[in-house]
Structure 1
């Protein structure tokens, strides 16, 4: 009889373990299937961080959270509208000029490169401008889906920005109650790190854009303002963004002669050297610094999975994951010192402390 009871208990444990394994496998499969949804959720978190950062001055003067969020959103819209009013006509004309000149400049660069044997064999496998335009037309048919996703991200970002604590507490409840304080601390630290990284990155983008604008204007490259905006925006993508932003300016300089090409390259090199050796070390002192190799693999992984949107969000997502792993795994699980002093993360709660002190809000 006893042996039968033992057998039933073992069978029940095996059944529970099997169900747990099946649940984990099912969740993993769902994660893969809905990975793009998770990417949209993080994009909404990213926009919500920007909105709350814009509302920070209003919270500093004692305004409540909800009005400060809406005023922060209004401030962003006013700044964008003001920039459009001041520079919209000029930039629209210049972007139109860049779009009309780039195909001819690309073909000119291709014909020059074909004169070099090594480059000729390399370019033989690259698509021509007609196939590139065909892909652009195909992409245009997906614009409706992109606009829908953009609206979804913005609306979700507003909800996130209005009450981030609601969603933080929801994530905290997915973990054991005894670990709630550590999870809450790690989420708060990762949010602060993301906020600091975004502020530092946008400051760098703004300065680089003005440097390229001014430098190309002095060199005489047409549409310098539009090229400066392109360089500033692409600088959001670390490591490869500066090269993407420099390509249109160098292509347009081909029509100006060899001297213009040389000076254009000099402008981009000087701007990026100032950004890499002066601006970034100064600004990133106030933000979490991610090892370049980690960023490179994050760009490669998310780019291969999600294309351009994955490349765009790779760096901020790497910041959040880096902080979470550093606090929850490296520090709390393995016991190593956490090297994220930049975000002033508080020490981990004492595991021997009373439950009330660990969960106090």
Structure 2
């Protein structure tokens, strides 16, 4: 009897370990599947967090200046943002709409002019086919981007969801922070709290620097194209400023329609347009990007590039748009939780010299 009692734990122990391993694997696979299925929803949540960080920064600044309570400060901040966008669309909406229509109508003739120019200089064979394939690829990518937006849900409904969610989060971010920390084991709570603080500073710094960078890129691009006589310079400048949010790839995409429209003026204008975009990129890379990294976190350029590609493959068009802030947050969390806490190595804290 004693031998049977002693042998039963040892015989059941391997079965228990196998069961525990099986349950763990099933749980991991289930969580991974759930994350994949909810990828679009999770990106909308992250978009709300990014917008909430903007609201929070503005609210703190308004409350500091006016000494009003946070609720009133948040309401004033949101009202100011809506008023700025409404004013811009009221003053320049018709003009920008006309310029975007000009861009849409001018792209096909511009491609034809490029093809004619290549034939004239004796490069109409391979390069002509390459240009045609490239134009088809651009059209396909634009159509695919549109499908990404549509498959993410109704655009207006998603925007309202993100906007309202950001207001709720920004109204009292400490509540959501405390709720998240309650789910963390007590031993790791201090490290996770510091990681959240680092991520908040890094994201806030990135947004401040990126806003300045986008405005400067848009202004320089518009002014340069205007002086070169390129049609729809205002719309092209706005596109360049908006796409500046996408690291590495955005400036290339914004330069394609500008060069094509410049060909409708002359090949020399197109060449000067290429030089203009190279100059703007030098300004952005040597002056604006270091400013962003100083206030946020120094993410290596190759990491940003591959992050954009990975985010596009995983989350679609909205992933590409949010690739930079998502990379900043993940990079900061890895530094604080893994490099600093688990490995015990020194790190450079985001947003601090």
Does TM, normalized by the shorter one, top 0.5?
A: yes
2:321 equivalent to 1:312: yes
Instruction: Show structure 2 runs of 5+ residues with no match.
Output: none
Q: For residues 319-358 of structure 1, what are the structure 2 equivalents within 5 Å?
A: 319-340=328-349, 342-343=351-352
2:59 equivalent to 1:55: yes
RMSD between aligned residues: 2.8
CA distance in 2, matches of 1:92, 1:314: 28
Cα pair distance change 1:335/1:17, threshold 3 Å: same
Give the match for residue 125 of structure 2: 117
Give the conservation status (yes or no) of the 8 Å contact 2:199–2:350.
Answer: no
2:181 equivalent to 1:178: no
Normalising to structure 1: TM-score of the pair?
A: 0.86
CA distance in 1, matches of 2:199, 2:149: 37
Count how many residue pairs are aligned between Structure 1 and Structure 2.
344
2:9 equivalent to 1:6: yes
Give the conservation status (yes or no) of the 8 Å contact 1:98–1:223.
Answer: yes
Give the conservation status (yes or no) of the 8 Å contact 1:242–1:272.
Answer: yes
Instruction: Show structure 1 runs of 5+ residues with no match.
Output: 345-361
Higher relative contact order, structure no. (Cα contacts within 8 Å, ≥ 6 residues apart):
2
Greater mean deviation of Cα atoms: 250-259 or 134-143: 134-143
Match of 2:50 among 40, 46, 49: 46
Cα pair distance change 1:17/1:169, threshold 3 Å: farther
Normalising to structure 2: TM-score of the pair?
A: 0.87
Greater mean deviation of Cα atoms: 265-274 or 250-259: 265-274
Give the conservation status (yes or no) of the 8 Å contact 1:221–1:252.
Answer: yes
Give the conservation status (yes or no) of the 8 Å contact 1:169–1:184.
Answer: no
Give the conservation status (yes or no) of the 8 Å contact 2:255–2:277.
Answer: yes
Q: For residues 190-209 of structure 1, what are the structure 2 equivalents within 5 Å?
A: 190-209=199-218
CA distance in 2, matches of 1:329, 1:159: 31
Give the match for residue 71 of structure 1: 76
Cα pair distance change 1:124/1:230, threshold 3 Å: closer
1:264-318, CA deviations, whole angstroms, 9 ceiling, x for partnerless residues?
2222222221121123324532221211111011111111122221111111100
Cα pair distance change 1:13/1:170, threshold 3 Å: farther
